[in-house]
Amino acid sequence: MEAEASWINHCLDNIVKTGGNFDSFSEISDDSSKETAAVSVDLILSDDLLERILSYLPIASIFRAASVCKRWNEIVTSERFLWHFSNISSQKPWYFMFTGSDEPIGYAYDPILRKWYSIEIPEIRSSNWFVASSCGLICFMDNDCRSELYVCNPITRKWRQLEEPSGLKFSDYSTLAISVNRISRCYSVAIVKSKQVPGNFFQWDLSIHIYESATMMWATSLNEVLTGWRGGDESVICDGLLYFLIYSTGGGTQEDCHGLLTYDLSGQSSHGSLMKTFIPVPCPLTCGRLMNLKEKLVMVGGIGKPDRHDIIKGIGIWVLKGNVWLEIARMPQRLFQGFGEFDDVFASRGTDDLIYIQSYGAPSLLLFDMNQKQWKWSLKCPVTKRFPLQLFTGFCFEPRLEVAP
């Protein structure tokens, strides 16, 4: 199967402002010898009505509509249309899958039309970069120096680079999270850095750095030393709280390999020791993936075997209510086996009511609808595995036109 040709190259900034004429409609006549008048759709539909019709198109079709003619282009690029489109649009989150271990190339999956699109994301240079998303924006950070930071709308391809946060320059582990205010369009970026205390494997320096787009400034909100625990690479912002997973450095039981900490970004609550916010995971996990689904914290986790907690036997989905994890679903065994060889760790991202799960070892993509409690495979990604160690990963994002970094 071939992917649909890349439509992102026709993004709103690059669409030609002039276009062709509409096809005309001819009146039906009994007398073929009589001339019939051609009526243009432009003359039938007012701007308001045409704008309303176009606003119900899938987002990929908006780009094609913009290249039809000058009038349509002016409508779909107007601030009024973008506002109207964002308020009535019922777009589902897309999933971008990197199809190369080194090159940042891949395809984006539209679950409504069940199509894959070839998309180029500007500035990102490797598939192993940290990526987080919120309300149409993605934030990504390099995995080497962890000093290059960008915020981008992957649909319009508008982007900006953020300054490097001050404080700890190098870290052993880092997490990245972003949260966009849907009313003001301002956003916050949070980085949690963790570095081993020299000569002491059980103690780890942990720092939280927050960027606010309204002020365009970074602030180091917290510095603390954890004993017996370290930070990792998994975090998310949900309802004003920063959640991140921590990992045991030894000294406990196998059941205590993972834990969850929270940090209030508003600064309204007094912050004592971070460990006072500790929430245990619901069961022994091989890995955990955190996501914000309508301001509810959801975790997708690999469930370890009873005798070997580091070997995956299945996948579960939980929602955090207060300090208690409520199990929502477990992946049916037939679907779990459908991935073939499944690693103990895997990729999973979600937003709105949709969760994506992907094995690192294959381009298979499974969807779970939180509302309908249904599992479904995506249409097959138009890529084949070229060599045994080829890795696949990805992230999901909301396709939106009106949000800019």
Within its chain, how far is the Cα of 350 from the centroid?
7
Please give the pLDDT value at position 268: 58
Q: Compute how many other C-beta atoms are within 10 angstroms of the C-beta atom of residue 219.
A: 15
Q: Are 373 and 329 in contact (CB under 8 A)?
A: yes
Confidence of residue 14 (pLDDT cuts 50, 70, 90): very low
pLDDT averaged over every residue in the chain: 83
Q: Which of 376, 332, 399, 330 is nearest to 89 (CA)?
A: 399
Residues 334-355 pLDDT 10s: 898 877 656 678 899 999 999 9
pTM: 0.85
Please give the pLDDT value at position 273: 84
User: What is the side-by-side strand order in the sheet with 173-180?
Assistant: 173-180, 187-197, 200-212, 217-227
pLDDT exceeds cutoff 50 at 16: no
Picking from 85-89, 103-107, 296-300, which range would have the lowest pLDDT averaged per residue? 85-89
Confidence of residue 78 (pLDDT cuts 50, 70, 90): confident
Question: Quick one: average pLDDT of 317-327?
Answer: 96
Please give the pLDDT value at position 206: 94
pLDDT exceeds cutoff 80 at 91: no
More confident residue, 252 or 374: 374
Please give the pLDDT value at position 146: 80
Picking from 213-217, 232-236, 264-268, which range would have the lowest pLDDT averaged per residue? 264-268
Please give the pLDDT value at position 341: 58
More confident residue, 103 or 198: 198
Please give the pLDDT value at position 271: 62
Please give the pLDDT value at position 80: 82
Question: Quick one: average pLDDT of 118-140?
Answer: 90
- What proportion of the chain, given as a percentage, has pLDDT over 70? 84
Question: Quick one: average pLDDT of 89-103?
Answer: 79
Within its chain, how far is the Cα of 326 from the centroid?
23
The listed range with the strongest mean pLDDT (28-37, 95-104, 227-236, 357-366) is 227-236
pLDDT exceeds cutoff 90 at 28: no
Record the tokens describing residue 255, joined without a space: 């059941």
Confidence of residue 105 (pLDDT cuts 50, 70, 90): confident
Confidence of residue 306 (pLDDT cuts 50, 70, 90): confident
More confident residue, 110 or 388: 110
Dihedral of the alpha carbons of 214, 215, 220, 222, in degrees to the nearest 10: -50
Picking from 68-82, 132-146, 219-233, 356-370, which range would have the lowest pLDDT averaged per residue? 68-82
pLDDT exceeds cutoff 70 at 154: yes
For 254-292, letters b (16+ CB in 10 Å) and e give eeebbbbbbbebeeeeeeeebeebebebbebbbbbbbbb
Cα distance from N-terminal residue to C-terminal residue, the chain: 34
Record the tokens describing residue 204, joined without a space: 């780890």
pLDDT exceeds cutoff 50 at 116: yes
